[in-house]
Structure 1
Amino acid sequence: MAKYRMGQNQGALEDAKHALELDPMSAFAWSSRGMAESGLGQYKEASISFEQALEINNKSPSIWLNKGMALQNARDNQGALDAYEQVLSLDPNNTMAWVYKVMALRNLGRGEEAVRITDRELKYDPASITLLMRKAYALYSLNRFDEALLIYNRILDLSPANFDALLYKASTQMSLGDYLGAIKTYNQVLQFDGNNTEALQYQALAYYRLDQYEPSLALNDRLIAQDPKSSLAWSNRGYCLVKLGRIQDAIKSFDKALELNPRNYNAMSGRLIAIRAVWPHYR
């Protein structure tokens, strides 16, 4: 629904209710209602709407997935886990369902269970990229970054052009504080997708943490060229400029970030840092 995609969740909800008055047996309308309710933070109501949709069409992985996410947001992790299991029974390669399943297990205090599940399955298919990716993500979610990195490297030995593995490997290197390694891995990502926002954003962060502010600034400028309305990129640009001593330019960047998103607290803090660099007693 166009209104939902535009973030106009209340309007989308009204549209869905109207559609259901015309056709109460429309799984699409019930699902659309659930999406709008989720967008409004009405997660219990959303889960009920998705359940109504599933009574009409219980073979839809996407509806099961959305129900699971609504239940998880409503802090019903067991219900969410059951929904993700349904997704995986219908679509065994559904990456998102596995990711959210791991989150639900972790929230239930059963995070290690995800590792054991993949270990059992890998005994029968040790070269399965899907299973290796699942185990690596489960380890990552448990903060076992060294072990996760070993598996991402194994995946890339088997499938050097695996885009998702490259992204997750770089993220794992960031978590380990291996910023140089992450920069190299993000370069590989950018060889496949030169405008990948995640790679550009985190590569900029890696350079920043290495005190290499010029390349970090250049990457944030590149992100802004791609999306001039990115409050995050404008804010991060401001921090680079502060470190480079370009205080007035930094304040302008933070102002732009706050114009785009008045609730960007990172930009608020950065602007205060920049002002105090000029007027130390400013409060």
Structure 2
Amino acid sequence: MFRRNSLEKTIEKAEKYFNKGEMYKARNMYLKALAQDPRNIAILNNLAFIYHVLGEEDTSKGYSEILLKECDETLKHETVKEILILKIPALVSLERTGEVMEVIDELLKIDSKDMNALFQKSYYLEKENRHTEALDCIEEILKKHPYHIGSLLSKGRNLVELNRFEEAEKCYNLVFEIEPKNKAAITLKSQLLKRKYNLTITSHDLMLKAVESFEMENFKASRDYFKKALDMSSEYAEIWFAQGELFIRTGHISDAIASFKKAFEINPTSGGIVKHKEFFKLLDRMKKINVFLGFEEKG
């Protein structure tokens, strides 16, 4: 009993360090725990990951090898979903990607609707250029989780590879309604436009720079990039909406209102906003406060 309690305390300390990102301390605690329980699959998995993060790939792969051996030993007696899940990163670490699909298929035999298994299967099918099959997996996820951003982005990528550009663009546009400044969607839509229209630079390349400047609180640069993006192409609602968010952040409410109105003209559900009257009432109140405080002229 004392041994078990001691192990639990050691693992608890390791997890605390791990969650705080203190990888060296987490490693030391997990090594101490492993000395107490050498065949603990969860500890082996965490050590493989930690050594990968620390850049010690040979050691990481060594733990992955041990992890796989222990997983396979357990699976000889019983098919356990959690053990199959732990096999996947170990196989990826060891570059045994062909076996990854076999494990994923085993997971789907247990639960054909398992979201993580479907998503991982779509990823490997996409890597093998089996885009139609990848889409089948993604559609299963979206039936249950229609706003799952990772799946929408994945669906768009596969559709682009099949030259189904309009459908792909709808996927990215839906992501923008959920996250107006999603950088992955911005990048992917730029790639789509370049491929569709044989372009070398797009308004979305400039939008990405605007969003990155926004995140660094370089608001002047962000405003300049938004202007350049809209000068290049003014027909994309997501650029207008993201610019509106910048104007709110910098206190230019009149400019924000104008930018949002333009976004809604192009796409009435921009930013996921459906109650436009209430939205603009809120902005109008913000503007009146700014005028009262002298931050903005009445008009």
**TM-score, structure 1 as length reference:** 0.59
The alpha-carbon distance between structure 1 residues 227 and 99, as it changes in their structure 2 partners (threshold 3 A), is: farther
For 1:118, the equivalent position in structure 2 comes to: 71
Matching residue's letter, 2:110? L
- Offset of 1:252 from its aligned partner? 2.2
For 1:217, the equivalent position in structure 2 comes to: 169
C-alpha separation between the residues in 2 aligned to 1:133 and 1:158? Answer: 12
- Offset of 1:194 from its aligned partner? 0.8
For 1:251, the equivalent position in structure 2 comes to: 202
For 1:170, the equivalent position in structure 2 comes to: 122
1:150 lines up with 2:96 in the alignment: no
- Offset of 1:134 from its aligned partner? 1.5
C-alpha separation between the residues in 2 aligned to 1:98 and 1:263? Answer: 41
Q: 1:159 aligns with which of 93, 103, 111?
A: 111
Q: Which structure's CA Rg is the greater one?
A: 2
SS of the residue corresponding to residue 167 of structure 1 reads helix
Q: 1:136 aligns with which of 65, 88, 103?
A: 88
The alpha-carbon distance between structure 1 residues 85 and 177, as it changes in their structure 2 partners (threshold 3 A), is: farther
C-alpha separation between the residues in 2 aligned to 1:255 and 1:181? Answer: 34
- Offset of 1:139 from its aligned partner? 1.5
- Offset of 1:105 from its aligned partner? 6.0
C-alpha separation between the residues in 1 aligned to 2:130 and 2:29? Answer: 34
- Offset of 1:81 from its aligned partner? 4.7
For 1:192, the equivalent position in structure 2 comes to: 144
C-alpha separation between the residues in 2 aligned to 1:223 and 1:215? Answer: 13
For 2:257, the equivalent position in structure 1 comes to: none
Residue correspondence of structure 1 range 1-283 to structure 2 within 5 A? 58=9, 61=12, 64-68=14-18, 70-72=21-23, 78-79=27-28, 81-82=30-31, 100-104=46-50, 107=57, 108=59, 109-110=61-62, 111-125=64-78, 127-245=79-197, 251-262=202-213
C-alpha separation between the residues in 2 aligned to 1:179 and 1:206? Answer: 5
Query: Where in structure 2 are there 5+ consecutive unaligned residues?
Result: 1-7, 216-224, 233-299
C-alpha separation between the residues in 1 aligned to 2:32 and 2:211? Answer: 37
| RMSD, aligned α-carbons | 3.7
Identity of aligned residues (%): 12
SS of the residue corresponding to residue 139 of structure 1 reads helix
- Offset of 1:156 from its aligned partner? 0.9
C-alpha separation between the residues in 1 aligned to 2:105 and 2:114? Answer: 11
- Offset of 1:99 from its aligned partner? 5.5
C-alpha separation between the residues in 2 aligned to 1:213 and 1:99? Answer: 40
The alpha-carbon distance between structure 1 residues 99 and 245, as it changes in their structure 2 partners (threshold 3 A), is: farther
C-alpha separation between the residues in 2 aligned to 1:77 and 1:195? Answer: 35
Query: How many residues matched?
Result: 201
Matching residue's letter, 2:67? A
Matching residue's letter, 1:260? V
- Offset of 1:228 from its aligned partner? 0.4
Matching residue's letter, 2:65? E
C-alpha separation between the residues in 1 aligned to 2:143 and 2:179? Answer: 20
Whether contact under 8 Å (2:138, 2:155) holds in the other structure is yes
Whether contact under 8 Å (1:64, 1:83) holds in the other structure is no
SS of the residue corresponding to residue 229 of structure 1 reads coil
C-alpha separation between the residues in 1 aligned to 2:184 and 2:32? Answer: 34
C-alpha separation between the residues in 2 aligned to 1:84 and 1:165? Answer: 30
Whether contact under 8 Å (2:172, 2:185) holds in the other structure is yes
- Offset of 1:223 from its aligned partner? 0.8
C-alpha separation between the residues in 2 aligned to 1:80 and 1:162? Answer: 33
Whether contact under 8 Å (1:167, 1:189) holds in the other structure is yes
